[in-house]
């Protein structure tokens, strides 16, 4: 590690006035990111924040780093090109549930499977905010919005499950109102080499206020959130007496001390498991049947896209020698005209 850069939160605050609605969950996420990035000991000029379109996508304007506010759904494509051309940078994608999962759904899948070295923070508020309140791909069935006055008829997509199916190497979830947890997850995401996907439950207090309050309110949180910790039993509840166990591969909520259940019966979280099946199963747990898992679902290592692309260039150079343009233009068959 290089010498300490001694950067602080203030170094990452831009001169632009923040223009989200007062009370928006985005403020807390911005503050958390600005608190975490100085700890990474990466020079400020090596940070690039790239976004698509939507409320969340204004984010880069507020970070005093390099930034690119691009077009709807395409932030991951632009980031892929940047990561290939500049593997030295710390590239962050700021996106939303509509931007990443609807218009950008195709890029989401392919960016994940390529393991592009990016930190993708997807703010999920289960609504289209910037276009003033239409249902999004994560809105629940029956959701009444401006474009679904009789309720949404569509099955929502689970971002964590999709990321898992798309072979992302780091997959996590956190939420706006628990900034300590969020900060910890974001820091781990930044430290992970490869695709880091973080879904952040974020409250839109204008168009979908309280979308997550049943889970995230301080008064109920202990019982309804399962904080995943690597190597530790999956316990929750104020007394940590409730837990998840797997019976014949099926998850179940159990209480320690009831029906002979002891802590040994509780499943231990392994974020590095080679087989993603258990992590996938965790991604399906949802309130009210289960507590909602927060934290790191999966954290495995695979060579990154930028690395492999650049290594291939180097290995072909080593094999064939540096390209000779003159020879290349000649091709294989030439003839002389005198």
CA nearest 124: which of 142, 148, 108, 147? Answer: 108
Match 């009370």 to its residue by tokens.
23
Where in 103-206 does DSSP place strands (E)? 118-124, 170-175, 196-201
The residue with tokens 């991604």 is 283
**Residue choice 7, 13, 14, 18 for contact with other proteins (CB under 8 A):** 14
DSSP label at 304?
A: -
Cα 112 from Cα 169, distance rounded (Å): 8
In the complex, the smallest distance separating the C-beta of residue 33 from other proteins, rounded to whole angstroms, is 15
For other proteins, the closer CB: 112 or 254: 112
Q: How far is the CB of 324 from other proteins (least distance, A)?
A: 9
Q: Residue 203 gets which letter from DSSP?
A: -
331 touches other proteins by CB under 8 A: yes
3-state secondary structure (DSSP) of residue 13: strand
Non-local (6+) Cβ contacts of 65 within 8 A are 12, 44, 45, 47, 48, 49
- Using the contact rule CB under 8 A, the part of the chain among 103-111, 165-173, 199-207, 268-276 near other proteins is 103-111
Residues in region 296-325 near other proteins by CB under 8 A: 309-310, 312-313, 316-317, 319-323, 325
Binding residues for other proteins restricted to 41-80, rule: CB under 8 A: 43-46, 48, 50, 60-61, 63-71, 74, 76-80
Q: How many of the chain's residues bind other proteins (CB under 8 A)?
A: 60
Binding site for other proteins (CB under 8 A): 14, 16, 43-46, 48, 50, 60-61, 63-71, 74, 76-86, 88-89, 106-107, 109-110, 309-310, 312-313, 316-317, 319-323, 325-326, 328-331, 333-338
């Amino acid at each position: 590690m290089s010498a300490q850069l001694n950067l602080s939160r203030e170094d990452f605050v831009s001169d632009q006035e923040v223009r989200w609605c007062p009370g928006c969950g985005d403020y807390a996420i911005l503050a958390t990111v600005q608190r975490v990035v100085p700890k990474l000991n990466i020079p400020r000029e090596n940070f690039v924040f790239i976004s698509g379109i939507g409320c969340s996508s204004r984010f880069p304007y507020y970070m005093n780093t390099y930034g690119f506010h691009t077009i709807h759904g395409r932030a991951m494509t632009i980031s892929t090109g940047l990561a290939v051309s500049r593997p030295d940078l710390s590239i962050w994608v700021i996106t939303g549930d509509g931007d990443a999962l609807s218009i950008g759904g195709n890029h989401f899948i392919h960016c994940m499977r390529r393991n592009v070295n990016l930190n993708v923070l997807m703010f999920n508020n289960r609504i289209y905010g910037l276009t003033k309140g239409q249902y999004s791909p994560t809105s629940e069935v029956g959701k009444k919005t401006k474009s679904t006055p009789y309720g949404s008829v569509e099955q929502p997509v689970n971002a964590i499950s999709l990321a898992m199916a798309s072979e992302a190497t780091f997959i996590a979830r956190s939420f706006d109102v628990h900034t300590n947890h969020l900060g910890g997850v974001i820091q781990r995401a930044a430290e992970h080499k490869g695709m880091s996907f973080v879904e952040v439950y974020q409250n839109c207090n204008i168009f979908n206020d309280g979308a997550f309050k049943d889970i995230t309110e301080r008064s109920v949180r202990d019982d309804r959130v399962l904080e995943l910790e690597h190597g530790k039993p999956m316990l929750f509840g104020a007394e940590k007496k409730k837990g998840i166990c797997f019976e014949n591969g099926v998850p179940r909520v159990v209480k320690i001390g009831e029906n002979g259940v002891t802590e040994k019966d509780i499943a231990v979280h392994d974020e590095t498991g080679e087989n993603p099946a258990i992590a996938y199963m965790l991604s399906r747990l949802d309130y009210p049947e289960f507590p909602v898992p927060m934290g790191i679902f999966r954290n495995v290592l695979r060579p990154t896209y930028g690395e492999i692309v650049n290594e291939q260039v180097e290995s072909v150079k080593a094999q064939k020698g540096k390209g000779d343009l003159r020879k290349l233009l000649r091709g294989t068959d030439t003839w002389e005209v005198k």
